[in-house]
Amino acid sequence: MQHSFLELSDNNYIAYVLNKGKLPCVIFLGGFKSDMTGTKATALEVYCKKQGQMFIRFDYIGHGKSSGNFIDGTIGQWKSDALAIIDKLGAGKNILVGSSMGAWIALLCALERKDKIAGFVGIASAPDFTERLIWEKFTDKQKEQIKSDGVYYAPSCYGEEPYPITLKLIEEARQHLLLSDEISLDVPVTLLHGMEDEDVPWQTAITLAENFTTKNVLVNFIKNGNHRLSEPEQLDMICEAVRTMC
């Protein structure tokens, strides 16, 4: 489907696809260095079209068809992008579906727009990954390198180009950490996590579930699931979680 562009006040623009339909609006937030053409985003769009459900997928600044450079991005920037989508294109009530880093971004947005959030679905949720899964795992040598050069190129597990991890990303993200405190939301929450996830430990979903103030939390562990959760039966589980929440 042809994408559109949302112009921002700083001359950047966000590429997005919006399908009109019934409410609540389902908004998909992708992961770190992912874009809106990914398997989960497009599968969820197909499902929502069939259901006549309003749906939005988009690219953060520095991702996909949006403006900017990935290496300049921060958690705060990408949260701002998602808030612009919610405020300018979303509905009065929205279900946020976040994949990996997108779950972190979605939760940050939900905490700032509680009146606009009807539910949250986290897929292989990776809140605080910059601190817990990168910085705390770095060797002293890697920490010295990133402090000296401002960037460390982390190898990808998926045969893609190395991911640039900047010191700016690490340091700015410390303003947005979530897992050390309660997450004050009063909406239904569903978390799906693969138990063979080599990027984000499945125990993260337990920590998240414990931190939510809402009692309406469902956690689904997929025993043979990896981080991507893009197999047909796994995509069906994601769509079913959205269907139930809608």
pLDDT in tens, 43-84: 999 999 999 999 999 999 999 999 999 999 999 999 999 999
Number of neighbouring beta carbons within 10 Å of residue 155 = 10
| Strand partners for 18 | 56
Which pLDDT value is given to residue 145?
Answer: 92
Which pLDDT value is given to residue 124?
Answer: 98
- Mean pLDDT, the chain, as a whole number? 95
pLDDT at 160 over 80: no
Question: 154: helix, coil or strand?
Answer: strand
pLDDT at 159 over 60: no
pLDDT at 1 over 70: no
pLDDT at 173 over 80: yes
Which pLDDT value is given to residue 214?
Answer: 96
CB 29 within 8 A of CB 81: no
Q: Which residues, at least 6 apart from 224, have a Cβ–Cβ distance to it below 8 Å?
A: 194, 195, 196
Which pLDDT value is given to residue 180?
Answer: 94
Q: What is the pTM of this model?
A: 0.96
pLDDT in tens, 178-224: 999 999 999 999 999 999 999 999 999 999 999 999 999 999 999 99
Delineate the domains of the chain, giving CATH numbers in brackets: 4-127+178-245 (3.40.50.1820)
How far apart, in whole angstroms, are the C-alpha atoms of residue 127 and residue 103? 7
Q: Which tokens in the block code for residue 79?
A: 């949260």
pLDDT at 154 over 90: no
First-to-last C-alpha distance (Å) of the chain: 24
Q: How far is CA 206 from CA 58, 194, 211, in A?
A: 28, 12, 9
Catalytic sites, residue numbers: 100, 197, 227
Q: What percent of the chain stands above pLDDT 70?
A: 98
Residue in this structure with the two tokens 């976040």, named with its chain if needed: 98
Q: Which residues, at least 6 apart from 207, have a Cβ–Cβ distance to it below 8 Å?
A: 179
How far apart, in whole angstroms, are the C-alpha atoms of residue 114 and residue 117? 5
Which pLDDT value is given to residue 155?
Answer: 79
How far apart, in whole angstroms, are the C-alpha atoms of residue 155 and residue 172? 22
pLDDT at 14 over 80: yes
Which pLDDT value is given to residue 157?
Answer: 63
Which pLDDT value is given to residue 163?
Answer: 85
Higher local confidence (pLDDT), 154 or 93:
93
